[in-house]
């Protein structure tokens, strides 16, 4: 269900691009709460994820290379 939602796909694309920039610049962890705030989740919800991290490793790079597709913002969607 989520996989067919254009907004879900757009958010996934944004997260992937941010992770690629972080990895390129030597970072190997993504702060989940910070990412949530970047994509517009309110602070009350995002703070529940401030202790969570996503590892950005060689597997991420392989997945990125296999599925790199730049997606446009769906019509009518505002990204914060």
- Determine contact, residues 36/80, Cβ cutoff 8 Å: no
Question: Using CA of residue 60, residue 61, residue 67, residue 71, what is the dihedral sign?
Answer: positive
Tens digit of pLDDT at every position of the chain (80 positions): 456 788 888 888 888 888 989 998 999 999 999 999 998 899 999 999 999 999 998 888 888 777 765 567 778 888 77
pTM score, whole prediction: 0.68
Report which of 10, 21, 8, 12 is spatially closest to residue 72, judged by C-alpha positions: 10
CA 65 to chain centre: 16
Q: What are the residue boundaries of the structural domains of the chain, listed by start?
A: 2-67
């Amino acid at each position: 269900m989520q996989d067919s939602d254009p907004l879900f796909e757009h958010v996934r694309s944004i997260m992937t691009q941010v992770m690629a920039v972080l990895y390129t610049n030597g970072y190997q962890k993504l702060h989940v709460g910070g990412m949530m705030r970047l994509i517009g989740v309110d602070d009350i919800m995002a703070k529940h994820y401030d202790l969570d991290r996503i590892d950005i490793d060689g597997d991420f790079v392989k997945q990125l290379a296999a599925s790199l597709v730049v997606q446009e913002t769906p019509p009518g969607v505002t990204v914060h």
